Structure 1
Amino acid sequence: MRLIEQHLRVTAALIVREMSTRYGSKPGGYLWAIFDPVAHVAMMTLIFQVFARMPALGLSFPLFFASGYLPFTFYQRMSSFMAGTMKANKALLSYPVVSPFDAIVSRFVLQLMTDAVVTIVILMMIVELADVTQPMNVAGMVEAAGAAAVLGLGVGTINIVMFARFPLYEQIFGIINRPLFMISGVFFLPEALPNPFHDIILYNPLVHIIMWFRSAVYPEYRADGLDTGYVIEFALVCFVAGLALLTTSMREIREDRL
């Protein structure tokens, strides 16, 4: 029991430190975390309104793009933030009371809270400004966002070790990861793609996450091919693999040999 309390105190202290380090030194601080995605959604809305009279779903361009962009960022920002955990906390890991798992949990909680606040604010702004009246399944959105966050946690935890051991892998991962924003269904509906492209794109778990989130935002949307079980299994496999890599590399991390 005392050990659990110790880890909770360390994790809470690390969360406060991460907040101060990440947002305290920037102009606008935490507000920038909200302004950045708002600007992205606004920019995408303006661009695509030039080429299309109606969004692929519903009547609101901002809501359509937000329903794709927000769940994607739960994965993208989480995986990126988690991958830098050991580098950001290298000095603290020299203390026996601080474990790598404390650093991982603190970063996960902070990023999850940040993305949740950003999502709530953006959706509330869209509902008010675009006069959206459709009912939304909040539980479904939370489930999809949670799955995206766990997937980001798993991929990010794997990359903590892989980036340190294989510098070339970091470059390769960046090249592979970059086009995901374009091919994960942020801008389009996977159902609109002809076969075999529709079947191929469903191997991407982010496509299912965005379909899952959109099906909660739009009651009329019937996501053809959505497999929530596949997303959960993929995310858990990545997380377990990340924990296994981290556990086997714990000594090297402690001794700063990674």
Structure 2
Amino acid sequence: MYYLTTHIRVVAALLIREMSTRFGNKPGGYIWAILDPAAHIAFMSVIFMGIAKLPALGTSFPLFFATGYIAFQFYSAMCGFLNGAIKSNRTLLSYPNVAPIDTIVARYVLQAATTVFVAICVLGAIIVTMHQPPELYWPAILEAAFAATLLGLGVGIFNTVMFLRYPFYEQVFNIVNRPMFLISGVFFLPDALPGPMREVVLFNPLVHVVMLFRQGFYPQYRAADLDMFYLYTFVFTVIFGGLFVFTNSAAVARGR
């Protein structure tokens, strides 16, 4: 019980430190966290409104792209923030009470809370301006968000170790991860793709996250290709693999 209490206090202290480092003491940092996704969604909406009369789902381009973008951000922002958890806090690991996993937990909590805050602000603003607000199905929304953060957690834990041990891997990962935004269903519905292409895209677990997230906003969306078993199998495989590498890495123990 003593060790659990100690780690909770350490995580709380790290959480406050990460908030101060990331957002500062002024509200500008929090405002930018909202403006950045809002600007991306607005830009995509304007571009596609000039190409098509209606989005692939519903009648609102901003809502369609927001549901895709925010769902993707639950993974992408989490993964990106966790990648450097050890490297950014290596000086603190010299203290006996600070364990490497504490830095991971602190960043996970902060990023999850930040993305939830951004999602509420951005999606809430879009829904309020709609003539016919959608009927939300919260179980699908919450499950998709949680699954995406777990996927980001697993990849982030693995990358934390690999970035320290193999700097070249960081460059390779960034190259491979960059097009994920384009092939995760943010711009399109997998159901509308031709057979061979659809089968390839469905190997991407983020496609299933986006489909599940959108089901929470579009009751008419059936997402026939949604495979929750595949999604959770992929998520927990990545988490267990990341934890295995993390707990057996001397580089993490040294913080370098």
> Which TM-score tier does this pair reach, normalised by the shorter chain?
over 0.9
Structure 1 position 197 matched with structure 2 position 197? yes
Secondary structure in structure 1 of the residue aligned to 2:90: coil
The equivalences for 1:209-228 within 5 A come to: 209-228=209-228
Measure, in 1, the Cα distance between the counterparts of 2:3 and 2:162. Answer: 30
2:238 matches 1:230: no
Q: Does 1:107 align with 2:68?
A: no
Q: TM-score, normalised by structure 1?
A: 0.96
Q: What residue in structure 2 maps to residue 82 of structure 1?
A: 82
Which runs of 5 or more structure 1 residues have no equivalent in the other structure?
A: none
Cα 1:87–1:67 shift into 2, 3 Å:
same
Counterpart mapping for 1:151-166 below 5 A = 151-166=151-166
CA contact (8 A) 1:71 1:213 kept: yes
How far did residue 158 of structure 1 move? 0.4
Mapped contact 1:60–1:132 kept (Cα < 8 A) = no
Cross-structure match for 1:185? 185
Report whether the alignment pairs 1:246 with 2:239.
no
Measure, in 2, the Cα distance between the counterparts of 1:27 and 1:139: 31
Counterpart amino acid of residue 253 in structure 1: V
* Aligned alpha-carbon RMSD (Å): 1.2
Question: What is the CA distance between 1:136 and its match in structure 2?
Answer: 1.1
Matching residue's letter, 1:105: V
Note the C-alpha offset of 1:173: 1.0
Does the 8 Å CA contact 1:186/1:210 hold for their aligned counterparts?
Answer: yes
**Amino acid in structure 1 at the alignment position of 2:236:** L
Report the residue type matching 1:107 in the other structure: R
> Within 1, Cα distance between the matches of 2:132 and 2:157?
38
- Distance in 1 of aligned mates of 2:19 and 2:233: 31
Aligned to 2:254: 255
Residues 1-258 of structure 1 aligned to structure 2 (within 5 Å): 1-24=1-24, 28-249=28-249, 251-256=250-255, 258=256
SS of the residue 1:217 aligns to? coil
Unpaired runs of 5+ residues, structure 2, are none
The residue type paired with residue 206 of structure 1 is L
**C-alpha separation between the residues in 2 aligned to 1:129 and 1:174?**
37
* 8 Å CA contact retained: 1:126, 1:132: no
Query: 1:215–1:222: 8 Å Cα contact kept in structure 2?
Result: yes
Give, in angstroms, the shift of residue 132 of structure 1: 3.7
The whole-number CA distance in structure 1 between the counterparts of 2:58 and 2:112 is 28
Name the SS for the 2:226 alignment partner: coil
Q: Is the 8 A contact 2:165 2:251 kept in 1?
A: no
Alpha-carbon separation, structure 1, partners of 2:174 and 2:134: 38
Output the CA distance in 1 between the equivalents of 2:179 and 2:72.
12
* Counterpart secondary structure, 2:195: coil
Q: List per-residue Cα deviations over 1:39-95 (Å, max 9, x = no partner).
A: 111111111101011000001000000110001001001011111101111100111
CA distance in 2, matches of 1:26, 1:231: 39
CA distance, structure 2, for counterparts of residue 127 and residue 134 of structure 1:
7
Partners of 1:148 and 1:209 within 8 A in 2: yes
Report the secondary structure of 1:52's partner residue: coil
- TM-superposed CA distance for 1:8, in Å, is 0.6
Question: Quick one: which amino acid aligns to residue 222 of structure 2?
Answer: R
Q: Displacement, 1:27?
A: 7.3
Distance 1:70 1:26 in 2: 24
2-side partners of 1:253 and 1:116: how far apart?
A: 29
SS at match of 2:28: coil
